[in-house]
Amino acid sequence: MENHTHMPHTSKRGHTLFKKLAESAPQSLILLFLLLSLTGCLVDIPSQAAAETNNQFHSPPEDDTIAPVVAETTGPVPFAVLYTESDITGAMYEPAEGAYLGAWLRPDMTKPAFEELVGKKHAVFVLEMQIGDDFPATWILQSISAQAAPLITLSLPYDNDFPLAELAEFAYELGNFNLPSFIVLNPLSPESVVTPEEYVLLFRYARIIFRTYAPMAAFVWHGYDNQATAESPFYPGHDVVDWVSIELLAPQGPEGFFVDIPAQLKPFYLSFQQHKPIILLPLGIGHFSRKDYVYRVPQAAAEIARIYETMRDMFPRVRLIIYGNHHLTTPKGDDFSLTREELLINAYQEATSDEHFISRLGPGRVEGPMWMRSGLHGYYYEGNIFIDREILAKAGQRNLPNVTVEINNRPYVNTEEINWLKIGTDHTRRIIYIVLQP
């Protein structure tokens, strides 16, 4: 069982909230909550859809026989490093390889209409709501008809009147559909006014309710920026979180994009990749801003192609990419929608045509090796590939060569001297693949 972050010590307000929760809860839920609090972890409730499947792990490509595109450079050229991690258990619905496609649509666009425009089925669609709203039975039935899983962002109030009855009723209604789903509970934002202890307490308590009434719902923790890591005091713990998500929007101006999405994602990704699959919720590439009233559609189309290619190649545990096609805007009036511009539709069609991007949800629970991304670079230099010695040392590799080459003030090992590991390189994409020994 994974280690998890312990719940913070509760303040006076936290004790008051806990008391109100206990007073209003059914006795069975109180007993369950106390038991799980004492043990420090929650046990997964198995379902048919969450059964284990065979691992689809692929070996790295053989060394590129085509002349490397960096062969004529004079200095070290950085390569990303992907390595295998053996003891990883996938989450509910996590594919062994690839990333599901998802979309967050504006209210007046139907799921079939969107899929007809972009020419590909999507595995997940998003609905945003607050507890106390009418249960979205019709919308869920539409998702079932589209053969897609619902992802619901569910916001709760932070006060002394926690809506326990409404939350239990919502979970019960969802459980009656008996279908795979995702619940993004209390998505954090810069405007959130809540203490870490209050946030964690409500998240963990809500997880118990859903495990009881809607066990096929995967719980998602949402961090609004790349500073939201597994060490955050707002992170409820690995035992109650199935997936994690982050919002990534790239507005565009005269000087280009204000945000480099891969760079923005990297700290969040490296913090969670060994623990949880990652959702981009949503992804948005700006093509128009009311700040200067200029359309920059070709640049946005090129960026869509780059981002999906980068997610495929460099971020293997990004398992669900939800494009925000609901005319989401920033305070400056940036438009991130996809289906208003034919050029953007074509770019999206081309970017998602790769078999890496999956149209239907699977059972998940895969066990075995997975690709991880190192936070350290490798280098191509003078016809050889070099790996940071720390990558191999941290992975428990023994008998490492004592002779190293210093690049950018760090010791690197020439891969020619590591003949006991399977190492592949992709010179075009500038990636080094390492199959580490368990």
Q: Considering 365, 393, 420, which residue would you say is the last residue of a domain?
A: 365
Using a pLDDT cut of 90, give the percent of the chain over it: 59
> Do 386 and 248 lie in a common domain?
no
Q: Per the domain annotation, does 375 fall within a domain?
A: yes
Q: Per the domain annotation, does 312 fall within a domain?
A: yes
Instruction: Give the separation between CA 89 and CA 91, rounded to whole angstroms.
Output: 7
Q: Where are the alpha helices (DSSP H) in 185-233?
A: 196-213
Of 112 and 70, more confident: 112
Kindly indicate the confidence band of residue 4, based on its pLDDT and cuts at 50, 70 and 90: very low
pLDDT at 73: 53
Instruction: Give the separation between CA 16 and CA 160, rounded to whole angstroms.
Output: 8
Look up residue 361 and give its two tokens: 């949800």
Instruction: Give the separation between CA 289 and CA 332, rounded to whole angstroms.
Output: 7
Q: Considering 315, 342, 365, which residue would you say is the last residue of a domain?
A: 365
When pLDDT is averaged across residues 276-287 and rounded to a whole number, the result is: 96
> Do 311 and 265 lie in a common domain?
yes
Mean pLDDT estimate for the chain: 83
Query: Looking at the predicted structure, is the pLDDT value of residue 222 above 90?
Result: yes
Query: Looking at the predicted structure, is the pLDDT value of residue 331 above 80?
Result: no
Query: Looking at the predicted structure, is the pLDDT value of residue 67 above 50?
Result: no
Domains contained in the chain, number: 2
Instruction: Give the separation between CA 343 and CA 157, rounded to whole angstroms.
Output: 41
Q: Any idea which of 5-9, 54-58, 226-230 has the lowest mean pLDDT?
A: 5-9
> Do 351 and 377 lie in a common domain?
no
Using a pLDDT cut of 70, give the percent of the chain over it: 79
Domain with 201 in it: 91-226+233-365
Q: Any idea which of 14-18, 114-118, 371-375 has the lowest mean pLDDT?
A: 14-18
Q: Per the domain annotation, does 161 fall within a domain?
A: yes
Q: Per the domain annotation, does 22 fall within a domain?
A: no
Torsion sign, CA atoms 411, 414, 418, 424: positive
Nearest to 103 by CA among 237, 235, 281, 225: 281
β-bridge mates for residue 81, sequence order: 432
> Do 295 and 340 lie in a common domain?
yes
Q: Any idea which of 74-78, 125-129, 211-215, 402-406 has the lowest mean pLDDT?
A: 402-406
Q: Considering 365, 398, 413, which residue would you say is the last residue of a domain?
A: 365
Of 34 and 186, more confident: 186
Q: Any idea which of 2-16, 144-158, 249-263, 421-435 has the lowest mean pLDDT?
A: 2-16
Kindly indicate the confidence band of residue 292, based on its pLDDT and cuts at 50, 70 and 90: confident
**Dihedrals φ, ψ of 219, to 5°?**
-95, 135
> Do 304 and 168 lie in a common domain?
yes
pLDDT at 329: 61
Kindly indicate the confidence band of residue 75, based on its pLDDT and cuts at 50, 70 and 90: confident
Look up residue 21 and give its two tokens: 């929760």
> Do 249 and 106 lie in a common domain?
yes
> Do 280 and 131 lie in a common domain?
yes
Q: Any idea which of 115-119, 143-147, 190-194, 415-419 has the lowest mean pLDDT?
A: 190-194
> Do 270 and 332 lie in a common domain?
yes
The single-letter code of the amino acid at 191 is E
> Do 296 and 406 lie in a common domain?
no
Look up residue 230 and give its two tokens: 């597994």
pLDDT at 365: 76
> Do 379 and 336 lie in a common domain?
no
When pLDDT is averaged across residues 138-158 and rounded to a whole number, the result is: 93
pLDDT at 33: 45
Look up residue 344 and give its two tokens: 């953007």
pLDDT 10s digits, 239-273? 999 999 999 999 998 989 999 999 999 999 999 99
Q: Per the domain annotation, does 53 fall within a domain?
A: no
Cα separations (Å) of 336 from 104, 125, 265, 288? 11, 17, 18, 8
Q: Per the domain annotation, does 134 fall within a domain?
A: yes
pLDDT at 45: 33
Kindly indicate the confidence band of residue 163, based on its pLDDT and cuts at 50, 70 and 90: confident
Query: Looking at the predicted structure, is the pLDDT value of residue 70 above 90?
Result: no
**Contact criterion met (CB below 8 Å) for 164 and 24:** yes
pLDDT at 165: 87
Nearest to 79 by CA among 98, 96, 60, 95: 60
Instruction: Give the separation between CA 304 and CA 283, rounded to whole angstroms.
Output: 10
Q: Per the domain annotation, does 353 fall within a domain?
A: yes
H-helix or E-strand spanning residue 378: strand 378-381
> Do 285 and 388 lie in a common domain?
no
Q: Fill in the DSSP letter of residue 66.
A: S
**Contact criterion met (CB below 8 Å) for 367 and 380:** no
> Do 240 and 145 lie in a common domain?
yes
